[in-house]
Structure 1
């Protein structure tokens, strides 16, 4: 991972820019306390440039190469004449680093990357008038702290989901209901526990401490003062003794659960799907403490070389049919409300709580930590992402 680049961007997030602009008006200081760099908003769509370069999570731009029947890229290419070139990224830090190269037009950024991209001037505000399908996006996904600044959208919501606790039902004797299972220093599954390999995983420890150590006063796992942060880091250093593998490549996580090298740990629904398809007995849940999670947003590069094809892609990928296909393949709640009418499984949106805001109120979506405490505290500074990155390196050793 480009940890140095991520740290530099995080520092920039705390003190980015001196002015802001979204098209014709200045946005000034963002809700996170940073000022938005001057990046113009596209006014109108022109002719497609013939191609579009994506940075995406695995499973978001399927072209039939992984499964012949799973292909929404070729229909887009046929419809628009824009050839899709996809670079798969394993982590948000990698996405940020790739977008900084200037080689890519759009990215499916999660909340722990989106604010960094905005603050660094790497992405532009999105003209939603050029994205007709934006009108049908769930209201619960629009104008959130991780995809907008002062009401100005910087992307098109793609979907959302929770980070889950998964275990091998044939190996773990007692079904866990708490994240405490992955933080127990005396775990009988020492060496077979897995955790997500990213500084943002510190939030998972903070989330657990919210209920296990209420005296710390943690209200938001992404808004940690020094004492709270030190407690989360200490818990993760303790956890290091039982972790057999940290994962960022979901295919390796799948293989590890399939083989039994891993029997317990953090997962995504797509990993669960693959492991179950391989006939390995697993179960995944949102534990009683709730969970962290992702809400991904398609963002357009500030200096996109193929902006018209990028806008066409953003509109297409959240169209009802395509959004339904992605959601079912990846295992997440779709962003487009009309996608629920297009899923092959008529109960899919119920299963993934697509319309259930009460369910998602238990999910703390990835958000970039900054010095201005995101929980509203004014009398103390919080630990920013640069320090999260440094701490994560030390935690893993």
Structure 2
């Protein structure tokens, strides 16, 4: 997850970090010798809303900040089969999510798709959700892979189409927990094919503070620099202050949001680090006073393999899942469905997981270079997966439930006040 006005984490080839020479990353970071960052993160914090000109004018009657009913956009392809490809395909995604051999000849899961389907991909890559929102609103794309913060906005505004999952062979292999995330399934219609996912853990040195609430204590800590980190504070409050009635850490009432922000702010000292990149996190834990941090399983594994004893809290965690979506009016719907089919397959998700340091949504991808990622993210542990609180975009209607909650703009504003 990202930061207002900052770049999304750069992706680096996993082998470069976990190979024989790469295990010195923590030590190298202390000397400033490493120029690469680690795995991808989840939603960027300040996804630019779809511009008014791009918003349907049919009028849903929804209050500002609520979740409008998506415009009824029919799936552009009949469910019998995918038609003949149109020849080209416009794809918008994050850096590192689709590789074509430009960074490393070993990282190329685009060429096999083009060779197999005859659909030539015109790839547009961005670093932040705000960049993606702006590009998507101004351009003409067939497929897009937004993070949950932007995905919720695109679905609510009718900018992406409901999918015919019968045309996506790998969909049935994706765990039900991921397939039915609220941000991807609305009113019984599927809008996203899960691709890569991750979780946020509280990691600490052996013998150090280990409760999630310790992340917000007086001891120096490193916290991911994103408004959605408020959800992690809310999750910690759910265990210590049950009277707040926090059920979903991503859908908070004004009083619950106030309490979560207060927890973040009350003991924030000058040594607290709000990190944007894996390199910043590694440096904080290697060279600074920080001994407890919000991190990914990837980071924990990196330190352990470098000989640095670190542990992770077993408390409930938040997470996110990025998914592939189909534009509401794609110019190349047949090539787009072929793309969704490919990106849900083990053949595409295996190298993507190994490259980004994230978990593949399709467990069939858990082999070869992706095996390590599947192990550290516990991909095949369905019981653990059920306990992950996956991110959804905060909305005033509490994600479609009854009640009055705060929306994403409220979270962004409170985070700006906290991190100055």
- TM-score normalised per structure 2: 0.75
2:232 to 183, 204, 225: 204
Using the TM superposition, give the Cα deviation of residue 359 of structure 1 relative to its aligned residue in structure 2, in angstroms: 0.5
Which residue of the partner structure matches residue 50 of structure 1? 88
Secondary structure of the equivalent of 2:416? helix
Which residue of the partner structure matches residue 69 of structure 2? 35
Using the TM superposition, give the Cα deviation of residue 386 of structure 1 relative to its aligned residue in structure 2, in angstroms: 1.9
Which residue of the partner structure matches residue 388 of structure 2? 363
RMSD over aligned CA atoms reads 3.5
Using the TM superposition, give the Cα deviation of residue 361 of structure 1 relative to its aligned residue in structure 2, in angstroms: 2.4
1:30-80 deviations in whole A, cap 9, x for unaligned?
A: xx8531124342115442433433222x44223344444333233333333
Residues 75 and 110 of structure 1, relative CA distance in 2, 3 Å threshold:
same
2:148 is equivalent to residue 148 of structure 1: no
User: For the residues of structure 2 that align with 1:102 and 1:280, how far apart are their CA atoms?
Assistant: 47
1:318 to 334, 344, 358: 344
Using the TM superposition, give the Cα deviation of residue 269 of structure 1 relative to its aligned residue in structure 2, in angstroms: 3.5
Which residue of the partner structure matches residue 415 of structure 2? 392
Residues 183 and 307 of structure 1, relative CA distance in 2, 3 Å threshold:
same
Secondary structure of the equivalent of 2:196? strand
User: For the residues of structure 2 that align with 1:245 and 1:17, how far apart are their CA atoms?
Assistant: 45
Which residue of the partner structure matches residue 310 of structure 2? 283
Which residue of the partner structure matches residue 85 of structure 1? 123
Aligned residues: 369
Q: Please tell me whether the aligned partners of residues 11 and 386 of structure 1 are also in contact (alpha carbons under 8 angstroms).
A: no
Residues 16 and 146 of structure 1, relative CA distance in 2, 3 Å threshold:
farther
Using the TM superposition, give the Cα deviation of residue 19 of structure 1 relative to its aligned residue in structure 2, in angstroms: 5.8
Residues 365 and 388 of structure 1, relative CA distance in 2, 3 Å threshold:
same
Which residue of the partner structure matches residue 196 of structure 2? 159
Extract unaligned runs of 5+ from structure 2.
6-43
Extract unaligned runs of 5+ from structure 1.
21-27
Which residue of the partner structure matches residue 24 of structure 1? none
User: For the residues of structure 2 that align with 1:311 and 1:262, how far apart are their CA atoms?
Assistant: 46
1:280-307 deviations in whole A, cap 9, x for unaligned?
A: 736362x243111012211122244554
**Mapping of 1:334-349 within 5 angstroms?**
334-340=360-366, 342-344=367-369, 349=374
2:251 is equivalent to residue 234 of structure 1: no
Using the TM superposition, give the Cα deviation of residue 245 of structure 1 relative to its aligned residue in structure 2, in angstroms: 3.5
Q: Please tell me whether the aligned partners of residues 7 and 386 of structure 1 are also in contact (alpha carbons under 8 angstroms).
A: no
- TM-score normalised per structure 1: 0.79
User: For the residues of structure 2 that align with 1:298 and 1:389, how far apart are their CA atoms?
Assistant: 25
Residues 130 and 195 of structure 1, relative CA distance in 2, 3 Å threshold:
same
User: For the residues of structure 2 that align with 1:306 and 1:102, how far apart are their CA atoms?
Assistant: 14
User: For the residues of structure 1 that align with 2:368 and 2:294, how far apart are their CA atoms?
Assistant: 27
1:245 to 273, 289, 292: 273
